[in-house]
Amino acid sequence: MFERRNRPAALGHKTHVDIGSNETGLVSRLGQNAPLDELAAGSREVAEATLTVRQELGNAAEQVDHDQLLLPLTAGLRYAAARNGRKAVLQAGIAVENFLTHTAAHHGTNIAGTNGINAKMDCLKMMGTIRPNY
């Protein structure tokens, strides 16, 4: 039978109490909260970007998969705000490709083996899932 052990201590890992009370923890002995401030700022940026994406999508935001569509769009918006166009476009492309995959699955269209946005679009057009003018 599986025996429960305190594996983190046995492996020499710090426990949550050790990390929080150690001077190398999130809050140093000097009272500086720089890591916590960075975490809070990052969380605030993600929340603001997510809200912006949801507002742009309107009611459609409630109908799409959060992980497959909203997260890449949110990441793309954050990269765009940071002036990293390459990563912003990459994330937007991931969101579009995920949307096409979801659309195909929703309509029962098999797009297995298609790689990339153009191939997925062509397959969906051929199967009549989306209109040819897209």
Could you tell me which residues come within 8 angstroms of residue 38 by beta carbon, excluding any fewer than 6 positions away?
A: none
CA distance 50 to 66: 10
Q: Is residue 133 part of a domain?
A: no
Single pTM value for the model: 0.65
Q: What is each CA distance from 2 to 5, 11, 42, 52, in whole angstroms?
A: 9, 18, 40, 48
User: Which range marks the domain in which residue 53 is found?
Assistant: 33-126
Q: Is residue 6 part of a domain?
A: no
Q: Is residue 56 part of a domain?
A: yes
DSSP state string for 15-56: PHHHHHHSTTSSS-TT---HHHHHHHHHHHHHHHHHHHHHHH
Q: Is residue 93 part of a domain?
A: yes
Q: Is residue 106 part of a domain?
A: yes
Q: Is residue 77 part of a domain?
A: yes
Q: What is the pLDDT of residues 97-126, one digit of tens each?
A: 999 999 999 999 889 889 999 999 999 998
- Number of domains, the chain: 1
The whole-number pLDDT of residue 79 equals: 95
Q: Is residue 27 part of a domain?
A: no
42 — pLDDT class (breaks 50, 70, 90):
confident
The whole-number pLDDT of residue 129 equals: 87
Q: Is residue 120 part of a domain?
A: yes
Q: What is the pLDDT of residues 77-99, one digit of tens each?
A: 999 999 999 999 999 999 999 99
pLDDT > 90: what percent of the chain?
44
Q: What is the pLDDT of residues 47-58, one digit of tens each?
A: 999 999 999 999
